[in-house]
């Protein structure tokens, strides 16, 4: 039986040609050619002035916090339902992560919950575009203005998503992206920070190169910084993928459409929501399943037995051992009912770009079989 993987990229002859050229020629005087082309193409797609290629979205979040001057004594609000990479950089800079609940439809940061968690120490929020969807940025930005908070958009999972005429990643002081091998747009490992703020951009360029000013050839470091760079081969791959981004998102949307055909009439299944005015990239087709199936671990186990690989909906950060002893986690465990309810029963279904219609039909049939067992 063919095993259906949970995720994976689309690699064409264009990517192979660009990477081959990079490994052959992107040295000496041409060492930065693909970095510059990739950053320029990514910035142009998003309609921003600056894009900085980095080794991960985590490093982009880290540099965003540093560039905004966030540190010890500050609080930063993040959604409870996300990968730990959204919150870990807050600890890197010595600030405190505060976990807010998510919206029951978008599964993204709830503006109402954010408002409840704001204190005099709150300096910023990091909304996460979960699984390719976006939160209510109008409501979040209104809160940010009211309380003088910075917004750092974690668009790790949302390359190619648009909301009300704007691409994901452009709703904050910075936007951050992941190009992990599982993502819609990949460099194997890698990330990007975008911004329209010249001061943030200049600060990021210094911090990501061991505290060395751009253009410095004398190795005169101004401060202790970080080694956050990307190889030419990764940049070449990212450039090719950026040039194909609309094709890749279109394929993701076709795959989600197949799942909607297979499972959309199942009253007990909740699939990804797409609000009016939003074009989701549907990075991960996700199903919230009924309690009676025994929880996400049991569903994943049973589907694995059918040769179908799945991932769990993110468990609340406040439930993880990494944060178990913190005061914000204690508060979140009492208050964040949506994150805990959805996190217990959500499953990411296979969403790789190599999926065919018959693969999705097989997954749909397997899910329906689980639902039929009373």
Q: Is 229 a catalytic residue?
A: no
Catalytic residue among 183, 227, 229, 252: 183
Query: What is the per-residue burial (b if ≥16 Cβ within 10 Å, else e) of 334-360?
Result: ebbebbbebbbbbbbbbbbbebeeebb
Cβ neighbours for 252, distance < 8 A, ≥ 6 positions apart: 132, 160, 184, 281, 282, 283, 351, 353
Active site residues: 183
């Amino acid at each position: 039986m063919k095993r259906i993987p949970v995720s994976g990229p689309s690699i064409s002859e264009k990517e192979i040609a660009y990477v081959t050229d990079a490994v052959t020629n992107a040295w000496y005087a041409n060492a930065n050619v693909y970095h510059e082309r990739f950053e320029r193409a990514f910035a142009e797609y998003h309609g921003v002035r600056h894009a900085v290629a980095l080794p991960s979205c985590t490093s982009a979040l880290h540099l965003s916090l540093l560039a905004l001057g966030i540190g010890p004594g500050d609080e930063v609000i993040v959604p409870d339902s996300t990968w730990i990479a959204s919150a870990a950089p807050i600890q890197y800079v010595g600030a405190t992560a505060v976990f807010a609940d998510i919206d029951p439809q978008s599964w993204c940061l709830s503006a109402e919950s954010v408002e409840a968690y704001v204190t005099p120490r709150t300096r910023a929020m990091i909304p996460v575009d979960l699984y390719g969807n976006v939160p209510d940025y109008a409501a979040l930005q209104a809160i940010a203005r009211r309380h003088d908070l910075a917004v750092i958009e974690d668009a790790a999972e949302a390359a190619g998503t648009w909301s009300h005429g704007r691409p994901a990643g452009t709703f904050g002081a910075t936007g951050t992206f992941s190009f992990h091998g599982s993502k819609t747009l990949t460099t194997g490992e890698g990330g990007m920070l975008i911004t329209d703020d010249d001061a943030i951009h200049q600060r990021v360029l210094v911090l990501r190169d061991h505290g060395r000013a751009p253009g410095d050839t004398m190795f005169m470091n101004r401060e202790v910084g970080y080694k956050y760079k990307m190889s030419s081969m990764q940049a070449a791959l990212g450039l090719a993928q950026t040039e194909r981004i609309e094709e890749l998102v279109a394929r993701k949307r076709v795959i989600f459409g197949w799942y909607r055909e297979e499972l959309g009439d199942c009253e007990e299944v909740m699939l990804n929501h797409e609000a009016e005015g939003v074009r989701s990239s549907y990075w991960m087709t996700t199903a919230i399943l009924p309690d009676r199936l025994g929880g996400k671990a049991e569903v994943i186990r049973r589907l694995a037995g059918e040769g179908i690989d799945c991932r769990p909906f993110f468990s609340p950060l406040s439930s993880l051992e990494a944060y178990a002893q913190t005061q914000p986690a204690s508060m979140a465990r009492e208050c964040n009912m949506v994150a805990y309810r959805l996190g217990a029963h959500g499953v990411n279904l296979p969403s790789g770009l190599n999926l065919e219609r018959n693969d999705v039909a097989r997954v749909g049939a397997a899910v329906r079989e689980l639902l039929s067992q009373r």
